[in-house]
Amino acid sequence: MSKLLVLFAHPALEKSRVHARLLRHVHHLDGLTFHDLYEEYPDFDINVKREQELLLRHDIIVWQHPFYWYSCPAMIKQWEDLVLEHGWAYGKNGNMLAGKKIFNAISSGGSKEAYSPTGRNRFTIPQLLTPFDQTAVLCNMQYLPPFVIHGTHRLAKADIELCAVQYEQLLVALINDRITENEWKKVTYLNELIPIPETVQS
């Protein structure tokens, strides 16, 4: 059984429909630690040692955030800049995160078709997430495909609930080591490994 850390960053959670629903489904899971970076560090004054200790105690890390301007909210960049120190996370003798898994769980207002070579955004989601991929590789971590919810502005409440259940099932599968490297290396999104449920009991 793996221990999973959700590094959550949303500067306007009170306005969120999607992430608020996702959190309701996963924050209680056994084996999961939920860490709200904006709640913890409203002044961006990150406790580096505490963050590093959290990383050491977990096997899987999730950057969960809305996809802002083809990237992440500022808090995650601040976290990366301060926490992933040379000599600790990378560089000579910097191997403290080696072997851990990490991926992005994101929401986007744009459709999947919009994120394609012929779409309005020109690039795919994995291409735009390349800096996260390379950050993981530099730290000797395994970067998994992202979990992505597209078209959030057009999703009905019931659709959001289905996505939340799918996310919950994904994290449960990861915590219980039910998704193999061979499986995740074959997909573009982790969503593909967990079929979205047809109905949800309220």
Radius of gyration of the chain (CA): 16
Q: Is this structure's pTM higher than 0.75?
A: yes
pLDDT tens across 10-24, in order? 998 888 889 999 999
Q: Is the pLDDT of residue 179 over 70?
A: yes
Q: Is the pLDDT of residue 160 over 50?
A: yes
Q: Is the pLDDT of residue 199 over 70?
A: no
Q: Crossing angle for the helix pair 48-56 and 74-83, nearest 10 degrees?
A: 80
Nearest residue to 148 (alpha-carbon basis) of 29, 75, 62:
62
pLDDT at residue 202, rounded to an integer: 39
Cβ-count burial 121-152 (b if 16+ within 10 Å, e if not): beeebbebbeebbebbeebebbbbbbbbbbeb
198 falls in which pLDDT band (50, 70, 90)? low
pLDDT at residue 145, rounded to an integer: 98
Q: Which two tokens stand for residue 54?
A: 């959290």
Where helices occur in the chain by DSSP H, the ranges are: 18-26, 37-40, 48-56, 74-83, 125-128, 130-138, 157-175, 181-184
Whole-number Å distance between alpha carbons of 146 and 153: 20
Mean predicted lDDT score pLDDT of the chain: 94
In order of 32, 158, 162, 165, 199, the CA distances from 202 in angstroms are 23, 10, 11, 11, 9
Domains annotated for the chain, with CATH where assigned, are: 4-193 (3.40.50.360)
pLDDT at residue 194, rounded to an integer: 93
Q: Is the dihedral of CA 43, 65, 26, 24 positive or negative?
A: positive
For 31, other C-beta atoms within 10 Å of its C-beta total 16
Whole-number Å distance between alpha carbons of 5 and 66: 17
Q: Is the pLDDT of residue 201 over 50?
A: no
Q: Is the pLDDT of residue 28 over 60?
A: yes
